[in-house]
Structure 1
Amino acid sequence: MRVAGLGFRAAATAASLADALRRAGGGADLLATAEEKAGQPAIRDLAAGLGLEVRAVGAADLAAQEVRTRSDRVAARFGTGSVAEAAALAAAGPGARLLGPRVISGDGLATAAIAIGRTT
Structure 2
Amino acid sequence: MKVAGLGFKQDVTLASLREALLAAGGSAGLAAVATVSDKADAEPLKQLARECGVPIKAVPAETLAGIATPTQSQRITERFGTGSLAEAAALAAAGPHARLIATRAVSRDRAATAAIAEGDGP
2:72 alignment partner, SS class: coil
State the distance in 1 between where 2:13 and 2:86 align: 16
Q: Segments of 4+ in structure 1 off by > 2 A?
A: none
2:15 alignment partner, SS class: helix
Quote the offset at 1:95 in angstroms: 0.8
1:100 alignment partner, SS class: strand
Q: Which residue of 2 aligns with 1:109?
A: 111
Q: Which residue of 2 aligns with 1:58?
A: 60
Quote the offset at 1:64 in angstroms: 3.3
Q: Report the RMSD for the aligned CA atoms in angstroms.
A: 1.1
Q: Which runs of 5 or more residues in structure 1 are unaligned?
A: none
**For 1:80, which of 79, 82, 86 is the aligned residue?**
82
Q: Percent identity?
A: 51
Q: Which runs of 5 or more residues in structure 2 are unaligned?
A: none
Q: Which residue of 1 aligns with 2:5?
A: 5
Deviations 1:89-112 (A, max 9, x none): 000011100013201012211000
State the distance in 1 between where 2:25 and 2:19 align: 10
The answer to whether the 8 A contact 2:20-2:113 is kept is yes
Quote the offset at 1:52 in angstroms: 1.1
2:102 alignment partner, SS class: coil
- Matched letter for residue 86 of structure 2: A
Quote the offset at 1:51 in angstroms: 1.5
State the distance in 1 between where 2:41 and 2:11 align: 14
Deviations 1:17-44 (A, max 9, x none): 1110010002222100011110111111
TM-score, with structure 2 as normaliser = 0.93
Deviations 1:29-66 (A, max 9, x none): 21000111101111111112221100000112111321
1:25 aligns with 2:25: yes
Q: Which residue of 2 aligns with 1:16?
A: 16
Number of aligned residues:
120
The answer to whether the 8 A contact 2:82-2:88 is kept is yes
